Amino acid sequence: MRKPIFFAMVALAALFVACEKENFEDQPIPGDSNKIVFTAELPATRTATANDQTVTWVAGDEVKFVWAGGSATATASTSGASTTFSVEIADGITELYAVYPASAGGSYDEGNVNVHFNGSRSDGSFAANDICVAKAVKNGDTWETSLAFKNVACLLKIGVTTNDIVKLQVKGLNDEVVSGLLPVNIDNGMVSFGAATNTGTSMNMTVSGPGYYYIPILPGVTFSDGFRINLFTDEENQGTPFYYNGSFTTAKGKIIKMDAIESHAGHYYVTPSGAGTKAGQSWSQAMDIDKFKAIVTNQDNHFLLKGSTFHFSAEEFSFGDDYLVLHYPDHSKVAFTLEGTVTASDTTVFVGRTNTSDSNKAGVLWPQANSNITVKNVKFTGTNGKGNSAAIRLNNGAETFTLDHCYFRDNETDGNGAAIAVYNSCALTVKNCSFSNNSGIGGALFLNSGSATAVIEDSEIKNNTYGAIRADAANTIEITRTNFTGNDGVNYSGPAVRFGGSPTVTITDCNFVGNHCNSGAGTIAVSTSTVNLNVIGGKFEGNHADGTTNDDSAGAVIYDWGGSTVTFTDVLFKENYNNVGTNTQSGGIIRLGKNTCVARFNGCTFDGNYSYRSTTNNASLAAIIQNRQGGTKYYFNACEFKHNSSGLDSERIGGLYGMLVAAYSTCTIGMNNCSIHDNYGQRNPTGDPDITWFHLSNTSNTIIFSNSTIIGDAQRTPQAGGAVLAKHWSVLKLNTTGNYYLLNDIICSKYSDGVGIWCGQGSTSINAYYTKMSPEGDGRAVWTNDTGAGFNYYSAYLGGYDGTHVWNGTFSAGTNKDSFAATSDVNAQIESADSGFYEWLVSIEALGKDINGNNRGATSWPGCYQN
């Protein structure tokens, strides 16, 4: 006989659950310990149904009751904290199970109830997925008066924020079982589980829009390597998966909050023509280039793009006229990676468009608003653009762009930036890349935004035309361990790098070798007064300049016509040269072209640099400095100058005056702790050579030599023929009015017919403190025929005998020739001579030390190192 039994379901407490901790923090499902209380009508209760996890009932909620040989579904009669269910049960039944939701209820099987964890679900609410089981036992003729529901599922709580996602899929990284038919047993309130049957390795949830979705997972599942949640936009296309990496075991009665789980990149695969379904999930199902373009150029796919990596096969991809505009104005920080493949014989190649009609376009990639792109292992070639069209063009809000192990070759534009051009505040990073044979103003890189930043590391930049890097404006530029080789510049473009605007530029451990500039600008060119340039370590070797005027045939290493301060530390300058043609006052690997220019060199070596010209008449050709601009300043500390020269051809035959320094306009030159030796020129077989190391002429100058050693022969090997005027072979030629400070130096001309200092004309004032001058043979320490010249010295030594000097001007005898300098006195004289030079020496802690960093003490030996 069957009779109705009434279960009154009462919620014992109203609960709201909040998860305070992040990153895979779990929380108990509400109602796990709530008891079902039977009244005379055999009432019962169950757990929460509201999606905010509050424990209530809704009229119409269904619970499935199962027992041996039968089952029934009961419906809640009312909403609220309690409700009533009516179920008819056959006589002889002594126990039953109640399952919520009713759709999860299976059959009774030898004391257990089989509970369905279906792998496909369409209702993501908490109520529909909080699978609960309760057990009621009949003692004699009376059913127990209490019944407790138990949560048996582990719930994943997943937040969806867009309308684009239509399905969520949970899968273990090792295809662990997550769905199936689970036997559940309750004995004396204790829950246990049998082995699931009809199992599946994924749990799928249909998504109807933004919101939270609860997905039940079998309890006791161990994800040994973690799990992922795939996001589908349709049945084929996935968005960026969410990954949890690491071992995790599901537990009944827990909610796993997914909001803070780390998002890892989705991986998609691209070949030129695609494969299989072209879904892109593997090489066998690779998407083609057209599908890739459609995905990345549509900002509605931002959720799919974020964090993803697109893998390209080692083949050639032609972009034709379809350069990629990566523009995501309505979404923040859309970041993804394009990664090529490198094999022993092939690599991924992006071939750019040929554009001869429209300007300011891109050859391959055009990242814009909110884009954060990384490109790896790709060769860019073939872009031929009109008017500022680069292979990669960054503007209109591009945020970050990173290149890693990429190669740019044979890209060309008749405007700015053949390989990369930056026109906004984008942060550009270039690592382990190569740029070769690109042609444009800034063939490798062009920057024209005062808020842009660029970091270039461990790269090779070679054989580019119209300059390798040009920054007309930028914020910061950092170039590290990068080689610039064989680049060519014309018309002041700078063959290696040119800086304008107001950037802070740091170049560290870079090598500049064999770069060439024609018609102006050095290997490094500076065009504005607000560039803060620091070069640390590395070398400049074999770079050269040539041109048709005195100015544009100078500056093989650096040409600053903007007026900035540039600093070089621990740099080698070796065998750089200037071919000055028929010009008569040119040369100099350092060229400053504005009165606010300051060039500072600390710990640098100048070895074998030279200038030469093609005609036989004498001229002033400087190997290091040719100053033709008033007001400039050149500061040197702990530098060595050797084997530098100038001459009439590339073999440097025919020495000319001003081999190291020629100053034709007012300037300040400060040298502290410097060693100058073995610089030379070869006599011109015809004519009257004026071979000098320092030629200072025609205007007022301030020259400071402090704690330095200047010793050697102004010429190399005299050749037959031609007159030798002894006064012309000099270390210093002071042929102008000016102030000259010789502070604690050693100065010696080794050529017997030469002279240490030659004062040619003008009201020269020479101040010598503690300086030792020791000519050889019948040479002269100082020489002048100008009665207006003055030579004042204190505790200086000019040789052992009268007649070692010829001086027709004012001459004051020294005192105590064997005394040593007071270090504080020398420092005070430096400060008096030029406060800017003094302040720089203080800032680099150079005062009171020698070229090797040894402390000089209260008194100091003369010269640059301890003798």
| Domain boundary assignment for the chain | 1-161+177-221+251-259, 565-588+595-867
| Phi-psi region at 520: left, alpha or beta (left = phi > 0; alpha = psi -120 to 50) | left
**For 299, which DSSP code?**
G
In this predicted structure, what is the pLDDT of residue 649?
A: 54
**Statement: residue 46 has pLDDT above 60:** no
Q: Three-state SS for 717?
A: coil
Average pLDDT for 237-241: 66
In this predicted structure, what is the pLDDT of residue 14?
A: 23
DSSP bridge partners of 577: 544, 610
pLDDT tens profile 272-329? 999 987 878 789 889 999 999 998 998 877 766 878 899 999 999 998 777 899 999 9
| Phi-psi region at 596: left, alpha or beta (left = phi > 0; alpha = psi -120 to 50) | alpha
Average pLDDT for 809-814: 68
Going by C-beta distance under 8 Å and a sequence separation of 6 or more, which residues neighbour residue 3? Answer: 88, 89, 91
pLDDT band at 836; cut points 50, 70, 90: very high
**For 582, which DSSP code?**
T
Percentages of the chain per state (helix, strand, coil), in multiples of 5: 5, 45, 50
Q: Three-state SS for 680?
A: coil
**Statement: residue 461 has pLDDT above 50:** yes
Residue 672: which of 854, 861, 848, 859 has the closest Cα? 848
Amino acid letter for position 183: P
Instruction: Kindly report which listed range (50-59, 734-743, 776-785) carries the lowest average pLDDT score.
Output: 50-59
Tally the C-alpha atoms within 13 A of residue 703's C-alpha that lie toward its C-beta. Answer: 29
What is the C-alpha to C-alpha distance for residues 702 and 224, in angstroms, rounded to an integer? 77
The larger pLDDT score, comparing residue 722 to residue 667, is at 667
Cα 804-807-812 angle, rounded to 5 deg: 90
pLDDT band at 484; cut points 50, 70, 90: very high
Residue 374: which of 343, 342, 408, 398 has the closest Cα? 398
| Phi-psi region at 506: left, alpha or beta (left = phi > 0; alpha = psi -120 to 50) | beta
For residue 101, whether the previous peptide bond is cis, meaning omega lies within 30 degrees of 0, is yes
pLDDT tens profile 152-182? 999 998 888 778 888 999 999 889 999 999 9
Take residue 544 and report the two structure tokens written for it. 């050269």
Contact 796, 817 (CB under 8 A): yes
Number of helices and strands in the chain (H, E)? 5, 91
Beta strands at 132-139 and 95-100: parallel, antiparallel or unpaired: antiparallel
Contact 609, 652 (CB under 8 A): no
Percent of the residues in the chain that have a pLDDT greater than 90, as a whole number: 41
Contact 514, 549 (CB under 8 A): no
**Statement: residue 237 has pLDDT above 80:** no
pLDDT band at 451; cut points 50, 70, 90: very high
In this predicted structure, what is the pLDDT of residue 24?
A: 34
**Statement: residue 11 has pLDDT above 70:** no
Average pLDDT for 83-110: 86
Q: CB burial class (10 A; 0-12, 13-18, 19+) of residue 723?
A: exposed
What is the C-alpha to C-alpha distance for residues 458 and 509, in angstroms, rounded to an integer? 10
In this predicted structure, what is the pLDDT of residue 663?
A: 77
Q: Three-state SS for 643?
A: coil
Statement: the pTM of the whole predicted model exceeds 0.75: no
Tally the C-alpha atoms within 13 A of residue 346's C-alpha that lie toward its C-beta. Answer: 11
Going by C-beta distance under 8 Å and a sequence separation of 6 or more, which residues neighbour residue 169? Answer: 202, 203, 204, 205, 229, 230, 232
Computed over every residue of the chain, the mean pLDDT equals 80
Which parts of 798-865 are beta strand (E)?
A: 806-807, 810-811, 821-822, 859-860
pLDDT tens profile 658-702? 678 877 788 899 999 999 988 765 555 455 455 667 777 656 788
**Phi and psi angles of residue 671, each rounded to the nearest 5 degrees, phi first:** -130, 120
Amino acid letter for position 343: T
The larger pLDDT score, comparing residue 388 to residue 368, is at 368
What is the C-alpha to C-alpha distance for residues 205 and 120, in angstroms, rounded to an integer? 6
Amino acid letter for position 53: Q
In this predicted structure, what is the pLDDT of residue 721?
A: 26
What is the C-alpha to C-alpha distance for residues 164 and 233, in angstroms, rounded to an integer? 6
